[in-house]
Amino acid sequence: PKTEATRPTRKRGVRERVLQIVTDAPNGITRADIMAAMNATDKRSQQSVANALAALKRAGSVMGQKGIYKPVL
Q: Does the pLDDT at position 70 exceed 90? A: yes
Q: What is the pLDDT of residue 8?
A: 47
* pLDDT confidence tier of residue 73, bands split at 50, 70 and 90: confident
The average pLDDT across 49-60 equals: 95
Higher pLDDT, 11 or 37: 37
Beta-bridge partner residues of 64: 69
Cβ–Cβ < 8 Å for 19, 58: no
Question: In angstroms, rounded to a whole number, what is the distance separating the alpha carbons of residues 8 and 19?
Answer: 18
Q: Does the pLDDT at position 54 exceed 60? A: yes
The pLDDT tens digits for 2-28 are 454 444 445 579 999 999 999 999 899
